């Protein structure tokens, strides 16, 4: 116990067993933390893949939605045009049931005239 050292290290079987047990415990802790880290990375990778696939599906759905909206707008314009034409044709059908309009149409379009009547074709003004 000279030089102020009052503690001596024991180097017997029990101490060696404690050190070995401590080393094994530290190794197990290291392995456990390594497994946890790998598990966490796998979970993050799975979530990243899911996020990428979800984003891709979302973008694809948005593109499809835009295409469908464009087709819908085009179809709406075609429907509006068809409805306008249908209204005009219905108006023509109503007018064709009118005897006065029908007589005038036949006289103008087919140059039909009554007996003794003379039809003059005058040129239209072109300005």
Angle 15-18-23 from CA coordinates, rounded to 5°: 125
Structure tokens at 78: 């075609």
Does residue 126 have a pLDDT over 80?
no
Tell me the average pLDDT across 76-83: 97
Structure tokens at 70: 């464009």
Instruction: Write down the pLDDT at residue 1.
Output: 47
Tell me the average pLDDT across 95-109: 87
Does residue 103 have a pLDDT over 90?
no
CB 53 within 8 A of CB 59: no
pTM: 0.51
Angle 105-109-113 from CA coordinates, rounded to 5°: 80
CB 105 within 8 A of CB 99: no
CB 118 within 8 A of CB 126: no
User: Could you give the C-alpha distances from 120 to 13, 65, 92, 115, in angstroms and in order?
Assistant: 138, 62, 27, 15
pLDDT band at 127 (very low <50, low <70, confident <90, very high): low
């Amino acid at each position: 116990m000279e030089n102020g050292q009052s503690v001596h290290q024991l180097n017997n079987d029990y101490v060696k067993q404690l050190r070995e047990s401590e080393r094994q415990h530290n190794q197990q802790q290291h392995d456990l933390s390594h497994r946890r880290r790998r598990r966490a990375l796998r979970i993050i990778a799975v979530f990243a893949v899911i996020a990428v696939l979800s984003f891709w599906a979302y973008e694809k759905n948005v593109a499809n939605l835009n295409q469908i909206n464009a087709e819908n707008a085009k179809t709406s314009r075609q429907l509006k045009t068809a409805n306008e034409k249908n209204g005009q044709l219905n108006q023509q059908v109503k007018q064709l049931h009118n005897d006065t309009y029908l007589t005038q149409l036949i006289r103008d379009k087919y140059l039909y005239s009554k007996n003794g009547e003379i039809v003059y074709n005058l040129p239209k003004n072109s300005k």
